[in-house]
Amino acid sequence: MTRTLQTLLTGLFDYAGLFPPAKLPMSAAVEEYNRQSRSPDSWMLNRFICPVSRLEEFSETARYFMPGTFATSGYQEMNDRSEPWRVSAIIDGQLNDCIRRIDEFNERHADAAMGQGKVDAIELRAESPSWIDDALDGIPNDLHPAFEVPIGRDPRGFVAALAGNESAAKIRCGGVTPEAFPTSEQLAAFIHACVSAGVPFKATAGLHHPVRAEHRLTYEENPPRGVMHGFLNLAFAAAAARAKRASPETTIVVLETTDPAAFRFEEDRASWRSGGRSLELDALELAKVRETFFLSIGSCSFQEPLDDLRKLGLM
């Protein structure tokens, strides 16, 4: 793998196995996260995504997989994973109550005997720009919030409300029906609103595959199909918009590129060429974008993106 692709993929995937279309039981999702966190590909894995309403269930299920000591058959056994699990909690109730439950989780899992893990990020849907202002007042400094911006509305007011607040915007890029996917124009408008306001972002849903193409939208028999955005398209579009100030029109073309050969990752630079347009980014530009702008994507599968990258010969 080239250095530029490794830079782009490092810590990219938040694991959302509890959510559709995978919608795994808690035990299966925890076991998969644990398995992948110990695999050679673990450098691409980021946080475990869990609704606040299921934190207690997660706590009980994951405690034996998280690092720390636990009692078994009358003696203490050590889990050899060194780093505490990082969790991003989906706010699915009243904000103050959710924060209280997060604090309880973090206090419990600061103890090695309970398995070590920490909720250090939260995700919540923004109702309006003024609602964001009120919500920020009630969020502790040790929780990094990502506010989901509604599709179909002008994102600029929402994103501007986040500027200078150590918070991120969030965009939903798909779902289990074709109607759940934003257009490339809507996605480009969101990216450029974030660039203008200097606000980082994460993306979620519908990003299982590297390059834009038509795919099944669920894992059921005879599933609905639709065109899905590619996570390489999105990553490169974000990098080009932030580092190179690419125009919205160019961003749309990048997002709609369907030829995997249009994206090239060399040791010291990455490039995109399509329809007579081209962009080039060096490794340092990509690193800065990943660190400060394009934070992560949520995916209900970690294995599926890896399999596709290997099919394309990128891994």
pLDDT, one tens digit per residue, over 41-86 is 999 999 999 999 999 999 999 998 999 865 443 434 445 556 899 9
Strand partners, 45: 13
What amino acid occupies position 227? V
Dihedral over alpha carbons 140, 113, 35, 289 (to 10 degrees): 30
The pLDDT value given to residue 73? 39
The pLDDT value given to residue 68? 85
The pLDDT value given to residue 69? 64
Positive/negative CA dihedral, 274, 276, 277, 281: positive
The pLDDT value given to residue 315? 85
Whole-model pTM: value is 0.93
pLDDT, one tens digit per residue, over 285-309 is 999 999 999 999 999 999 999 999 9
d(CA 98, CA 94): 6
Residue 16 belongs to some domain of the structure = yes
The pLDDT value given to residue 220? 87
Give the number of domains in the chain. 1
**Cα angle: 201, vertex 155, 182; to 5 degrees:** 80
Residue 238 belongs to some domain of the structure = no
Residue 290 belongs to some domain of the structure = no
Among the listed residues 119, 101, 99, the one whose alpha carbon sits nearest the alpha carbon of residue 47: 119
Strand partners, 168: 146
d(CA 289, CA 107): 33
Q: What percent of the chain has pLDDT over 70?
A: 96
Identify whether the C-beta of residue 56 lies closer than 8 Å to the C-beta of residue 104: no
Residue 255 belongs to some domain of the structure = no
The pLDDT value given to residue 78? 47
Pairing of strands 117-125, 144-148: parallel
The pLDDT value given to residue 179? 92
Residue 2 belongs to some domain of the structure = no
pLDDT, one tens digit per residue, over 191-221 is 999 999 999 999 999 999 999 999 999 988 8
pLDDT, one tens digit per residue, over 257-286 is 999 999 999 999 999 999 889 999 999 999
Residue 263 belongs to some domain of the structure = no
Residue 46 is part of which domain span? Answer: 10-64+82-221+297-311
Residue 136 belongs to some domain of the structure = yes
Task: Find the CATH number of the domain harbouring 103.
Answer: 3.20.20
Rg (CA), the chain: 20
Burial group, residue 88, by CB count within 10 angstroms (0-12, 13-18, 19+): buried
- Count Cβ atoms below 10 Å from residue 124 Cβ, excluding itself: 21
The pLDDT value given to residue 76? 41
Residue 130 belongs to some domain of the structure = yes
pLDDT, one tens digit per residue, over 143-158 is 999 999 999 899 999 9
Question: Across residues 112-118, what is the average pLDDT?
Answer: 92
